[in-house]
Amino acid sequence: MRKLMVYDIDYDIENETPVIKIFCLDKDGNLFLVKDYSLIPYFYVLPKKGMEDRLKEMIEKIDEKKVKTKILRVEKVEKIIGLNEKRIFLKIFVQNPRKISKVRDEIKEWEEVEETYEYTINFYKRYLIDRKISPMSLILVDGEEKEKIGYIEIKANKIEVLKEIDEFKLRILAFDTEWVEEKNDERIIMISLVSNDGKIKKVLTFKDWKDKPNYVEVLKNERDLILRFFEILKEYKPHFLVGYNSDGFDFARLKRKIEKYKIRKEVGVFKSELKFVRRGRVSAAQIKGIVHIDLFIFVNHILAPTLKSEVLTLDEVAKELIGEGKKEMEYKDMIEIWSTEKGLTKLAEYNLQDSILTIKLANLLLPQIFEISRLVGEIPFDSSRYTYSQLVESYLVRRAFEENRIILNPPKQEEKEIRMMRLPYKGAIVIEPKEGIYSNILVWDFRSLYPSIIVTHNISPETLNCGHEECKKNQAPETKNYFCTKIEGFIPRNLKKLIELRYQIKKELKEIPKESIEYKSLYNRQYALKIISNATYGYFGFVGARWYKAECGEAAAAWGRFYIKKVIEEAKKKGFEIIYGDTDSLFARIEAKNEKELEEIGRKFTEEINSKLPGIIELEFRGLFKRGIFVSKEREKGGAKKRYALLAKDGSIEIRGFETVRRDWCELAKQIQRKVLEIILKEGNEKKAVEVVRETIEKLKKREVDIDDLVIYEQLTRPLEEYEQIGPHVKAAKRLMEGGISIVEGMLIGYVIVKGSGSISDRAIPAQFVSKEDYDTDYYIHHQILPAALRVLKGLGYTEGDILGKGKVKSLESFFGK
DNA sequence: CCGCTACGGGG
DNA sequence: GGGTACGTAGCGG
């Protein structure tokens, strides 16, 4: 008997029969491969009423050759569907799980068939669900053991799921690669590797230099560099390999190199093939048994809304989460260092730092990912890449199985299109911000409003318009839809479990010292619960959802509006001035003697409201903010959107909705927006902000601006000749080609808009061909600087004319003196 | 207004 | 693996 932790899973087909491969580790981190042959693949057919036996016989007679697999047997089973209906389903067992769809295709159109179910569930997921195994949890394994090189293989006789949680020693390896463009080619020049146990701290490269740090290992060439990377994976045997944007960047590029050099793709002690699993725009790099996690995806999908940072660069995210950023280096410096071989130590340090940040982020985030895995039952490879809705769905799929409820099918493309066509329902309430700068702002948050509404009003696809007369009193405001009050819905029941568990954990947390390991692990558990419960509302409207029901989302939104309106009403009665409100938050002001009194008023109001709110619905007081700027987005259908910046008491700035941190804005425009926001919030001086914009415009006019600050970057996403719409970057790329520079797909084109006539595209010149005398001052003033600055200043009543109108502010100033 | 194209992270 | 994100912004016509 072995007590092991499950961290990855896969399956193979041996002699047309599936074998599950569970990747595990023991307390000391030793590797195990558990093979289980016990699960037989299956799917369900719902026969039309009265057709059960006839259909069963027909299926048993299907020709094996036609469906390319054996139908092993057909069982009649009872399962729950809809509100609480018990129906007879046929459970069809087949030999090869990859042929399930073939069998299903054969019978789906038969007259006797009402519907087919659970034919889309991947076999390894099927196994985890049916055996009730949660990844990153413990199992007790009994079986025949075989010693292999680097691991022990167990042919399982019996697997038991354990409830207990234990500390297991995980080996985590972070990596980062550096590349330079060289002679129309991309070249990998460095790979850094840092492990969580301190055993690995390396930079691999293939240029040698004097006085290099001792962590640098010099290889012969690019090919050896990659081979050495793979060798380390085999020697160190990490359970997890972690990068930042490593799916979209490091591995995407490595793939091309591996193909070019014909490097074997069998990696690590398990000799798993390095696979690229298509997942939308980028592929996920997968090595079964060495779980590759791209932290950027997790940050982007799950963490982003809770971060203060507007951008999700490693630098910003690391600064915010672990208080440490990247080493400074610009891309051109990197090229310079590599070509001149001067400063290679600095380059190695830079490369190493990225892996250090990544391992530190991993130490913080992997435990969160593991808790999500335990909760929704998906392996970390998947759970770390899922969006909110996919995580909710995984949780519901498991719960449905455990309730003996049939798992609904995912929509086909056609169905998705229909869902997308549905007119959007009325969303949350937005109180248009009163534009301007405010001091001493009280902020409230209503964040778990939707989950509590769903539970309180029993909102679920099957409880919708149940037909019971007495349930009609539970009708959503402003709609004709109501929800059953007699039978608890599938989603509310399971959402309630999440909320209650989280409540219990939060109570426990108060009793434990904050620095303890137990606290951290419990904190992560409540965080996972929070993520899933908060995402349930959005899940109802997710077009890809199995349990999609727009009316449910609509109802939750309607009740949401109802409750927040109540709070606003109450606030107004108490004399608050409402500055801004959106969905679940409220920003208000009130006169008071001092800060302390303000906070007291805020707290008292919160208590009062909470005593009146039904059930688990609760208003949270986020506190007092020193200063804030509120701006409404013009040209926005359906009202204003979040665009504000707040200055907290500790001096930190929270910026929401100002979006010029993109590379299709020039550096100068980005700088000016940041400066304007900072001056206004920290100094409260609008005039100074305007002055700074003016100074910048003057500098532009005098051609004192560095060309580098005016370059606009855009990527070529296809071969040049495939463009129908010739945008500025396409035109610029063509000019580069005429200049003898070869253009490849994926290249980042930097261009500057120059003086002259014609469209913007006509005047987009590659940055390297442009000098200070050429740039179009007017373009940069009117299409870059002013729009960026006005995003902020418009809300304060400034127009383009006010900024450009020479001397208006100045003359007033000179009139009144300094 | 519409349709097309691009954005993100990474070097 | 029956799913190739995803929601939003700018430009040109």
CB within 7 A of strand C: which residues qualify? A 11, 97-98, 101-102, 104-105, 119-124, 277-282, 300, 387, 389-390, 393, 410, 413, 544, 633, 636, 641, 659, 664, 725, 727-728, 759-761, 783, 787
- Identify the helix (H) or strand (E) that includes residue A186: strand A185-195
Residue appearing with tokens 């293989």: A153
- Protein-to-nucleotide distance from the CA of A724 to the C1' of C13, whole angstroms: 13
Per DSSP, the residues of A691-732 read: HHHHHHHHHHHTT-S-GGGG-EEEE--S-GGG-SS--HHHHH
Q: How far apart are CA A193 and CA A236, in angstroms?
A: 11
Residue appearing with tokens 């791209």: A294
Are A169 and A329 within 8 A, CB to CB? no
Which residue from A120, A194, A159 is spatially nearest to A544, judged by alpha carbons?
A: A120
Which residue from A108, A648, A136, A696 is spatially nearest to A384, judged by alpha carbons?
A: A136
Q: Name the token pair of A594.
A: 């001092």
Per DSSP, the residues of A337-370 read: HHHHT-SHHHHHHHHHHHHHHHHHHHHHHHHHHH
Where helices occur in A586-628 by DSSP H, the ranges are 595-612
Report pLDDT for A264.
93
Q: Name the token pair of A74.
A: 């057909």
- Protein-to-nucleotide distance from the CA of A195 to the C1' of B9, whole angstroms: 22
Q: Facing residues of A773 across strands?
A: none
- Is-above-0.85 flag for pTM? no
Q: What are phi and psi of A642, to 5 degrees?
A: -50, 115
Task: State the nearest residue by CA to the C1' of C1.
Answer: A122
Which residue from A711, A723, A697 is spatially nearest to A775, judged by alpha carbons?
A: A711
Report pLDDT for A425.
80
Residue A714's nearest nucleotide, by CA–C1', is B6
Residue A199: which residues within 8 A CB-CB, separation 6 or more? A236
- Protein-to-nucleotide distance from the CA of A728 to the C1' of B2, whole angstroms: 20
Q: How far apart are CA A662 and CA A590, in angstroms?
A: 37
Report pLDDT for A638.
38
Q: Facing residues of A80 across strands?
A: A86, A405
Q: In what order do the strands lie in the sheet with A620-630?
A: A430-431, A577-582, A585-589, A436-445, A620-630, A644-647, A653-656
User: β-strand A240-243 against A291-294: which pairing, if any?
Assistant: parallel
Residue A350's nearest nucleotide, by CA–C1', is B11
Q: How far apart are CA A226 and CA A255, in angstroms?
A: 11
Q: How far apart are CA A135 and CA A791, in angstroms?
A: 47
Residue A178's nearest nucleotide, by CA–C1', is B11
Residue A390's nearest nucleotide, by CA–C1', is C3
- Protein-to-nucleotide distance from the CA of A43 to the C1' of C7, whole angstroms: 35
Amino acid in the structure at residue A663 = R
pLDDT digits (tens, 9 = 90+) for A728-777: 888 888 888 888 887 776 677 888 888 888 788 888 888 888 888 989 88
Is the minimum distance from the CB of A180 to strand B below 7 Å? yes
Amino acid in the structure at residue A760 = I
For the stretch A86-111, what's the b/e string if a residue is b when 16 or more beta carbons lie within 10 angstroms of its beta carbon?
A: ebebbbbebbbbebbeebbeebeeee
Residues above pLDDT 70, as percent of chain A: 95
- Protein-to-nucleotide distance from the CA of A278 to the C1' of B4, whole angstroms: 25
- Protein-to-nucleotide distance from the CA of A440 to the C1' of C3, whole angstroms: 48
Number of other CB atoms surrounding residue A557 within 10 Å: 25
- Protein-to-nucleotide distance from the CA of A758 to the C1' of C12, whole angstroms: 13
Q: Mark the nucleotides of strand B covered by protein, meaning any atom under 7 Å from a CB.
A: 3-11
Task: State the nearest residue by CA to the C1' of B11.
Answer: A179
Report pLDDT for A658.
65
- Protein-to-nucleotide distance from the CA of A615 to the C1' of C1, whole angstroms: 42
Three-state SS for A8-49 is EEEEEEECCEEEEEEEEECCCCCEEEEEECCCCCEEEEEECC
- Protein-to-nucleotide distance from the CA of A783 to the C1' of B2, whole angstroms: 22
Exposure on the CB side of residue A798, measured as CA atoms within 13 A: 29
Q: Name the token pair of A131.
A: 């055996």
Helix then strand count (H, E) for chain A reads 25, 29
For residue A688, what is the DSSP state?
H
pLDDT less than 50: residues of chain A: 635-640, 807-818
Task: State the nearest residue by CA to the C1' of B4.
Answer: A725
Number of other CB atoms surrounding residue A312 within 10 Å: 16
Residue A332's nearest nucleotide, by CA–C1', is B11
Is the minimum distance from the CB of A370 to strand B below 7 Å? no
Which 3 state secondary structure label does DSSP give A454?
A: helix
A756 exposure class (CB count in 10 Å sphere: 0-12, 13-18, 19+): exposed
Q: How far apart are CA A30 and CA A5, in angstroms?
A: 10
User: β-strand A31-36 against A151-161: which pairing, if any?
Assistant: parallel
Q: How far apart are CA A152 and CA A681, in angstroms?
A: 61
A80 exposure class (CB count in 10 Å sphere: 0-12, 13-18, 19+): middle
Is the minimum distance from the CB of A750 to strand B below 7 Å? no
pLDDT digits (tens, 9 = 90+) for A37-52: 999 999 999 999 999 9
Is the minimum distance from the CB of A744 to strand B below 7 Å? no
Residue A279's nearest nucleotide, by CA–C1', is C4
Are A804 and A697 within 8 A, CB to CB? yes
Q: Mark the nucleotides of strand C covered by protein, meaning any atom under 7 Å from a CB.
A: 1-6, 9-13
Q: How far apart are CA A570 and CA A580, in angstroms?
A: 15
Residue A182, phi-psi category: left (phi > 0), alpha (psi -120 to 50), beta (remainder): beta
Which residue from A88, A67, A63 is spatially nearest to A16, judged by alpha carbons?
A: A67
Residue appearing with tokens 């985590």: A172
- Protein-to-nucleotide distance from the CA of A298 to the C1' of C4, whole angstroms: 19
The CA-CA-CA angle for residues A296, A301, A305, to 5°, reads 105
Q: Dihedral of CA A416/A422/A425/A430: which sign?
A: positive
Is the minimum distance from the CB of A184 to strand B below 7 Å? no
Are A10 and A124 within 8 A, CB to CB? yes
User: What are all long-range contacts of A156-161, with beta carbons under 8 Å and residues at least 24 apart?
Assistant: A156/A34, A156/A35, A156/A36, A156/A38, A159/A34, A159/A36, A159/A131, A159/A133, A161/A131, A161/A132, A161/A133, A161/A134, A161/A137
Radius of gyration of chain A (CA): 30
Are A802 and A786 within 8 A, CB to CB? no
Report pLDDT for A43.
97
Are A36 and A156 within 8 A, CB to CB? yes
Amino acid in the structure at residue A414 = E
Are A549 and A461 within 8 A, CB to CB? yes
- Protein-to-nucleotide distance from the CA of A300 to the C1' of B8, whole angstroms: 9
